[in-house]
Structure formats: structure tokens, C-alpha cells
Structure 1
Amino acid sequence: MEEITFVTGNKNKYKEVNEIFDGKIIFAEIDLVEIQSRDIYEVVKHKAKEVYKILKKSVLVEDISLYLECLNKFPGPFIKFMISSIGPEGIYNLVKNYREKVAIVRCVVCYFDGEEFKFFTGDVKGKIVSPKGKNGGGLILYSCLMERREHFLKWVKRKTNSHTEELHGKNLEIF
């Protein structure tokens, strides 16, 4: 397998990814200005292009989005801003009066070698519930995605090695 650089500001995330890729992942912490777009694929594609311009070698980047059906798929890729602004309780308060609280958490990993983009998508489908615990407990969907990240990244590794162009994960029911 060729050497790939994984770009993230989260050292725990890097450690997890590096273990899954058998120690063949290089870590780079690069402060990027992220574009604002409702399209998560545009967000990761832009990140990958910008990192490649700096490093001039194959890169792996990822991002997460949350799609709330009752809010016309808002906040999407803006979830990090939303959590830092109003927190899990605020998100729950936005949807608590809706009958349907269906949501999808999507993790998109983008591989870019300077010529070709490969996107890998993993979805977790569920519903927003009231945050629990002394620290708000976070969003249940977000927690479930983090628990499934290892399986998803192993899948990305297999597909990256087999040179698959674009693949989509299965929805994981967590009701």
C-alpha cells in the first residue's frame, strides 16, 4: 500500500486510523479554512485539494454531517458549528415538537492522489432523543457513528486498496 497522509486536528482519531491501516498512515495537523457548503462532498473535496497543494502527496480527509429530516436535512455539514453554538440540548429542542425526529449522521472520507478523488460514505440512521448525563451526553446518533467508525475505516481501507472509485455504506438502523 502506498503511503497516505491523514489530515486531522484530532490525535485520537489519527491513532485509531493508523491502527486500522497497519501503521502505514502518516499524520499531519494542518489548519485549513473549511468552505461553507451544504454539500459534504464539496467540503471534503476542497479539504483534500487544499491539503494536497501543501503536501504534494496522497491524502485522506474526513468530515461528518447530521441530516434532520424534519428540518429539511439541516444542519448537514454545519453540525460542528451547531453543537458548539447550541449544544446537544439545543438540537433536541429544535426537533422535540416534531412528530418525526429521524436523522442521518454521515461520515465521508475522501482520498485524493493529485489526480483522482475517491469518496467513501458511511451512514447511521436513527432519531434524535433527549441528551442524558451530567455533560449532556451528546447526540445518540453521533455516539453510534463513533462506535462504528472502526468498522467503517476498515471498509475504507479494503476499498482504497482495491482501487474502487466510489462506494456507499449501508444504513445502520439504531432505533
Structure 2
Amino acid sequence: MLHYVTTNPGKVREAREYLGDDAVTAFDYDYPEIQSETLAPIAVDGARAAFDHVGEPVIVDDAGLFIDGLDGFPGPYSAFAEDTLGIERVGRLALDAGASRATFRCVIAYCDGEPFSATPDSVDRGRRGDDLAVEERATAATDDTVDATGVPVKLFEGAIPGRIVEPRGTGGFGYDPIFEHDGTTFAEMSIDEKNAISHRGRALAKFAEWFAER
């Protein structure tokens, strides 16, 4: 059984779409989260801490909204910014600064205590230009395998480009109402529509393909 360390049932449902209903279970563990300007080190540290606690295969994810014109803010601090400022204020900061271009990113970290062999290129070469460019930049900035402490962690990153808009829609969670992709905010999409293109879904798709051969 694969333990997804999260208290968000939506994440577990999304993972089961890619891995199967019986393959994933939620695990509630409040691991200490390090501070970093990028997502990967946070996910790596969390996966190691979770595996040490659970003792069985785990996945941990870290995600954030990166606004180009605000130097990537809120990025890894997205949850803190949402709690302290609120999504509407974050959106207003971006729009007032003329900084509408943004990217949702997600890093999934897997750990089972065993080493990993090399895997194929994780970038979907069939994706259209703007999405591909975003993912190529994301992949270039993230090591596929990290084992500096002796506990290997495998990383899978997904990213989706969009822009910041005035809040629209009632679905989703977090920054979904202010993030628009192809003319529709994440909060205006159905769960299936969002999961099919989301940053987390793209990371999960890469992980599921690799995990099937694990």
C-alpha cells in the first residue's frame, strides 16, 4: 500500500485516478516542514521524515503558485500567504503590479527506503508549446533522484501555465478562483476537468507511469 501523506481528501481522490482505488491510502502525519525558496527540498525532506515515521512507501507533495512578476511569490509560501493574506489579496497584489502571468507547480516525492534506477525523460514531448516550456524549466530545476543523506527520494514535477484574474467560480480550493488556464479558472472547472490538466495531475501521471514498473 502506498501512503499519501496528506489530510486533503481531494488529493487522495486525484491520486487514485492515476494509481487505482486500492493502491493509495491517506496518512495523517504532520511532519516538520523546512523553509526553502523552491519546492523540491521541502518535498524531499518531508518524504524522508514521513518514511522514517511510517516505515512503508510514501508520497509527499509540495505545491505552490508562482507569479512571474512578483519574483515567484508566493511560491513555496503559498499556504502561508493564503492563510495570512487571503487569495483575493494575493491576486490584487499581482494585478496591481501588472503581474498576471503565473504557473502552478507541484513536486511529488516518493520514498520507500530503496535505491532507484535511471528513468526516462519525464517531460511530455507531445504537449503544446507553452505548457512544454514551463515543464522543461521545472524539470531542469529539479533533480530526479536525491540521496545525499543515504535515503533515496524520487521526484516528479508537474507545472501548468496560466494567469491571475479576478476571482471566478465556486469549485476547487486554494488559489483556484484566481488562476485561469485557457480562459477558465480552476474554480470554474469540474473536478475531472481540473484533474486532467492540473499541475498535481501531471506530476501524478509521471509518478504512476514510473511506479507501475517499480
**TM-score, normalised relative to structure 2:** 0.66
Correspondence 1:128 to 2:167 = no
Number of the residue aligned with 2:14: 16
Judged with a 3 Å threshold, the aligned counterparts in structure 2 of structure 1 residues 67 and 33 are, in CA distance, closer, same or farther, namely same
What root-mean-square deviation, in Å, do the aligned CA atoms of Structure 1 and Structure 2 show? 2.6
Give the corresponding residue for 2:59.
60
> 2:166 & 2:61 partners in 1: Cα distance?
27
Inter-partner Cα distance in structure 1 for 2:210 and 2:8: 24
Instruction: Name 2:43's counterpart in structure 1.
Output: 44
2:80 is matched with: 81
Write the deviation string for residues 132-165 of structure 1: whole angstroms up to 9, x where unpaired: 35899722258279532474223320122345xx
Higher strand content, 1 or 2? 1
Q: Which residue of 2 aligns with 1:72?
A: 71
How far apart, CA to CA, are the structure 2 residues paired with 1:6 and 1:97?
A: 38
Secondary structure in structure 1 of the residue aligned to 2:74: strand
Whether 2:153 is the aligned partner of 1:155: answer: no
Q: Identify the residue that residue 167 of structure 1 maps to in structure 2.
A: none
How many residues of Structure 1 are paired with residues of Structure 2 in the alignment?
Answer: 161
Q: Deviations over 1:39-94 (max 9, x none)?
A: 21011011101101111121111111111111111211111111122222101211
Q: Aligned residue for 1:105?
A: 104
1:90, 1:5 → 2: CA distance? 35
In structure 1, runs of 5+ residues without a counterpart are 164-175
1:93 corresponds to:
92
